[in-house]
Amino acid sequence: MNFKYSLDNKRYHTLNYHYKSLFNCKIAKVSLNANFTCPNIDGTKGYGGCIYCSKLNSGDFAGNKNDDLITQFNSIKSIMEKKWSDSKYIGYFQANSNTYSDVETLKEKYEPILKIDNVVGLAIATRADCIDDEILEYLSELNSRTYLTIELGLQTIHDKTAKLINRCHTLKEFEYTVNKLKEKGIRVVVHIMNGLPFEDKNMMLETTKYLNNLNIDGIKIHMLHILKDTAMETLYEKTKFHILTREEYVDIVCDQIELLNENVVIERVTSDPNLVDLIEPHWLIKKLCVLNEIDKELKKRNSYQGIKAQKK
């Protein structure tokens, strides 16, 4: 079978399909580092950031923060052009919390990227507690003139885990912000993470079920990976908590795909760790293999996205 929201025999709603249906061309995301920080790094709510974050604070594959944003963009774009000569681009503000500032600073960061030829939109990664009313109004105005996506890190709905990983915001804050963004018609993509310390399969599926009732537009599913010189490494060395096997991960992701409404765009189903710093799990290195195993498992089940989706 071919799932109706896929162009490449996937059984879930792919980002490639989503972009092609909107823009009728290849869309490439250019990852940028605008040198923001986070409230759980700078002491506003906590210190050290999330315990799994690398020293680059989620910006391992973003541009070099020592370069200005235009230089970062053009440098990455020049590489992408060799692979996709006729593509258009989305500026992806990836590292740290990219709304964690005042509106004027945000404008200084975002607006120059929108002026670059063939840029059709922005994707802005941030936290639910970093969007106040003034920023929300600016994002709404931005959304009226470009293709805007706000990516919110959640990782888990479970308070005990959230405290353990030092998220420093509540599920109530997250839900409030999602609802405010959706009221403005702004596209929302949520990041979740499988394999967090001491969570079982049911807990991970509960996170997915919760999100399926929030009217989100997209999701990114990550696998926890332990990197050198992080607080997560220290916790792992101390407790030796269970790391999901590839087979366990594939099983959980396929269950999550089945639970998600078919209109939710699944933008990611695995992680891209920095291989130099990776401690566990080593099976993540073979990304294509993980993707293929997910496809094979869905086919084996004769299953697809949304087959078990339930609304409240």
CA distances from 241 to 157, 163, 199, 245 (A): 19, 16, 10, 12
The amino acid present at 88, given as its one-letter code, is: K
Q: Is the pLDDT of residue 49 over 70?
A: yes
Residue 80: pLDDT band (50, 70, 90) is confident
User: How far apart (Å, rounded) are the C-alpha atoms in residues 87 and 118?
Assistant: 8
pTM, entire model = 0.94
What does the pLDDT read at residue 52?
A: 92
Q: What is the mean pLDDT of residues 190-197?
A: 98
Q: Furthest-apart CA pair in the chain: how many Å?
A: 52
Q: What is the mean pLDDT of residues 4-13?
A: 89
Residue 61: pLDDT band (50, 70, 90) is low
pLDDT, one tens digit per residue, over 169-189 is 999 999 999 999 999 999 999
- For residue 105, give the 3-state DSSP assignment: helix
The amino acid present at 45, given as its one-letter code, is: K
What does the pLDDT read at residue 90?
A: 97
In our burial notation (b when 16+ CB lie closer than 10 A, e otherwise), range 134-150 reads ebbebbbebbeeebbbb
The amino acid present at 294, given as its one-letter code, is: I
pLDDT, one tens digit per residue, over 284-306 is 999 999 999 999 999 999 999 99
Strands 226-227 and 218-223: unpaired
Q: What is the mean pLDDT of residues 217-231?
A: 96
Q: Is the pLDDT of residue 269 over 90?
A: yes
φ and ψ at residue 277, rounded to 5 degrees? -105, 0
Q: What is the mean pLDDT of residues 130-140?
A: 98
Nearest residue to 157 (alpha-carbon basis) of 186, 131, 189, 196: 196
pLDDT, one tens digit per residue, over 237-266 is 999 999 999 999 999 999 999 999 999 999
Q: Domains in the chain and their CATH numbers?
A: 15-301 (3.20.20.70)
Residue 1: pLDDT band (50, 70, 90) is low
Least confident of 59-68, 136-145, 163-172: 59-68
Q: Is the pLDDT of residue 227 over 90?
A: yes
**What mean pLDDT, rounded, does the chain reach?**
93
Q: What is the mean pLDDT of residues 93-101?
A: 95
Higher pLDDT, 1 or 189: 189
What does the pLDDT read at residue 102?
A: 97
Q: What is the mean pLDDT of residues 32-41?
A: 94
Residue 150: pLDDT band (50, 70, 90) is very high
Nearest residue to 296 (alpha-carbon basis) of 9, 13, 7, 18: 9
What does the pLDDT read at residue 264?
A: 97
Q: What is the mean pLDDT of residues 85-103?
A: 94
